[in-house]
Amino acid sequence: MKFTAQITVMPLKELLDPQGKAVTESLHKLGLSGLDNVRVGKHITLQVEAASEAEAKANTEEACKKLLVNAVMESYEYTLTAI
């Protein structure tokens, strides 16, 4: 079975996000004053080939924990869609 995984990795809410802060200020300088609290993270899509949805989930989690996410500074969530 093949799945598409959509993974969103964001800086933890408790931490400052300097990139987001810079973007917020740039938006204000562009005159977009109604926009605030920007936070910038990563969005990762990948294809998972696995025998079952449970195996696909396990593989995706492993990829997140081993490579894609720095658990000290980031949180993640993902969805799997069969294709």
**Sites of contact with a copy of itself (CB under 8 A):** 8-10, 20, 23-24, 26-27, 30, 32, 34-50, 55-56, 59-60, 62-63, 66-68
The phi-psi region of residue 15 (left if phi > 0; otherwise alpha if psi is between -120 and 50; otherwise beta) is: beta
Instruction: Please state the closest distance from residue 72 (CB atom) to a copy of itself, in A.
Output: 19
The answer to whether residues 70 and 41 touch, using CB atoms and an 8 Å cutoff, is: no
Tell me which residue of 2, 23, 8, 11 sits closest to 74, measured CA to CA: 11
Taking the complex as a whole, the smallest distance from the CB of residue 63 to a copy of itself amounts, in Å, to 6
Closest separation in Å from C-beta 75 to a copy of itself? 12
